[in-house]
Chains A and B, each alone.
Chain A
Amino acid sequence: MSSRVSKKKRILQNLVMIAFVIPFIFPLISVIARSAQGEGFILNYKAVFLKSPFFQFAANSLYIASFTVLITFIATMLSAYAFSKINFKGRSVLFILLLGGLVLPGIALVVPLFILVAKLGAFNTYWAVIIPLAAGAIPFNLLLAKNYMDSIQNEIIEAAEIDGCNKFQVFLRIILPLSKPISSVIVIWTFLASWNEFFLPVLFIQDPTKQTVSQVPQYFSGIYISDYPKIFAALIMTSIPTIILYLVFQKNFERGLSAGAVK
């Protein structure tokens, strides 16, 4: 088709596309440029590394994200396997019940969460962030994983069962290895969502040493009240891990986003 497009039209289309993409890059470039103003690029980033608890915050976020991913992954894969391959009573009702969590806005649960965390004395603990994050991530991931496992042939499972595998061994030896593509999607998006989470840490983590990366800007606004170049340097440092992750696992990110269209 394209071979018949004239050269003039081709150039024009390329120019239009470049014009289209410029507004998407422009803010990124502006932010990088800003981070080099003031005391200059090197001193700004040095201040982020040495004068701020940036690494502490990043380590805290890494901790939260790792446990959220771990819990979400185990719960999601086990339940997706049961919903896809085990014929148990109440299966379809429970599946719909779990998917119901998809529609509800997390902030609508702020009052019960607040009271639950207060009653359990869990303020300033990471579990107050990890558990709600995992509960919020499960419904969507379950939908993805179940749809994927539906395409795994039952004959493979039956053969393994004849060879003496129980349901859990089937899960470990057959289902998990065959589900690698969807597993990486789940792990990557859950990690990204937990790393970027803003609301739950604001609610439950007040201890200044326990803050997460999404709190970095707030932290700098207090100290360097007008020193925006350093704030921007910190913002860039916050985003770099996710950008690297994206560049390495580009395909998985795109698949995760488009998986929403499956249903």
Chain B
Amino acid sequence: MKRNQNRIGLLFISPSLILVGVIVYFGIGYTFWGSTREWSDIRSPSTSIGFSNFEKVAQDPIVYMALKNILIFGFLTVLIQMILGFFAAVMLSGNTIIARNIHKTFIFLPVIISPAVTSISFQQLMTPDGEVNSFLRLIGLDSLQQEWLADPKVALVSLVIINIWQWTSFSFILYQAALTQIDQETLEAAEIDGANSRQMMAKIIAPQIKGTHLTLVIMGFIGSMKTFELPFLVTRGGPAGSTEFLTTYIFDQTVLRFKFGYGSTLSVLLCLLSIIFTVVLIRNSRERNM
């Protein structure tokens, strides 16, 4: 009976195990191996070059630029998205707002539109005479008009804005789910005891949504490291490398220049960063909760 269970269990998980094993784990193994190799072209066999690719990565200014960009992009997106999502969730949680479902739908829609469509659209809307600048003129904020994508000082912020537009619904939905789990009776009791809404926010609501904050920070930073379509389609990593990400750099090195060894090394870096970041964050939050 017991042995039978072992067999059946393994049989049932085998499709998932084979797919994920072959693609993900074989892939990672190969990437690690590939980072110590060099190819002259895809068809000829590779030669071992030891860890010299890692030395090259450590001295590559584009890598540092990409890391800086990811960090700024991740920090700004996560922070602003969390604020906007929380705000929307609180505003739409009571019944003060009319037509709440329509508001919800509009905030949600961007997340289901493909990143490719979003990228091409914003690339046009953000030209100097595009709709974004016209809109700013319309509401009297002429001074905020920018060369959104052509100015190296602004381009990364423009990508942040597009990303926030697309993903705010994620933090909104998560906060909304967390808010509905807060015990209504506790809130009512606090109200009877004379707590005002600011006190209730600080003493009852805020502690209960800590887990949601953490989820959003982890998912947000992992998402930033994975972000590809946005810098690839909107700005091509430019102008002057100001929107280069590790992902766009990997694409450039492997797919466009066939530098498989160096591309693998960059991929190893990206994997390690994602794993380390997730582990550190989860461990930190556990310690603090104990």
Give the B-binding residues of A (Cβ under 8 A). 1-2, 5, 9-10, 13-14, 16-17, 20-21, 23-28, 30-31, 33-34, 71, 74-76, 78-79, 81-83, 86-89, 91, 94, 97-98, 100-101, 103-116, 118, 131-132, 134-136, 138-139, 142, 167, 171, 192, 195-196, 198-199, 203, 213-214, 217, 228, 231-232, 235, 238-239, 242-243, 245-247, 250, 253-254, 257-258, 260-261
Contacts and interface: CB of A to CB of B under 8 A. Distances in A.
A24 B109 contact: yes
B112 A253 contact: yes
B19 A109 contact: no
B260 A115 contact: yes
Nearest to B162: A27
Nearest 3 A/B pairs, CB to CB: A88-B9, A196-B114, A135-B23
A75 B109 contact: no
B97 A109 contact: no
Interface stretch (B25-33, B56-64, B149-157): B25-33
Given A31-B125, A110-B251, A131-B19, 12 more contacts: A2-B96, A24-B168, A87-B5, A98-B17, A101-B24, A135-B19, A167-B8, A196-B115, A217-B116, A232-B121, A246-B112, A261-B178
B148 interface: no
A167 B12 CA distance: 10
Interface stretch (B74-82, B100-108, B236-244): B100-108
Given A31-B121, A105-B270, A254 B12 contact: no
Contacts of A34: 124, 131
Contacts of B255: 110, 114, 203
A98 B15 CA distance: 11
B176 interface: yes
Nearest to A132: B23
B96 A142 contact: no
A50 B83 CA distance: 45
A206 B105 CA distance: 36
A138 B42 CA distance: 30
Contacts of A217: 116-117, 120
A214 B268 CA distance: 28
Contacts of B109: 24, 28, 243, 246
A253 B107 CA distance: 13
A64 to B, nearest CB: 13
A14 B251 contact: no
B114 A135 contact: no
A56 B26 CA distance: 34
13 contacts: A16-B91, A33-B131, A103-B278, A107-B228, A112-B34, A114-B42, A135-B19, A136-B24, A192-B112, A196-B116, A198-B233, A214-B117, A243-B113
A206 to B, nearest CB: 12
Contacts of B120: 217, 231, 235
A135 B24 contact: yes
A194 B120 CA distance: 19
A178 B31 CA distance: 41
A247 to B, nearest CB: 8
Contacts of A114: 42, 254-255, 260
B117 A260 contact: no
A107 B30 contact: no
Contacts of B88: 20
Contacts of B264: 111
B125 A91 contact: no
B174 interface: yes
A79 B15 contact: yes
B106 A24 contact: yes
Given A27-B122, A109-B31, A192-B112, A79 B17 contact: yes
A25 B106 contact: yes
B4 to A, nearest CB: 9
A14 B228 contact: no
B222 A74 contact: no
A13 B28 contact: no
Contacts of B202: none
Nearest to A139: B20
- Which residue, of B124, B191, B270, has the highest number of chain A Cβ atoms within 10 A? B124
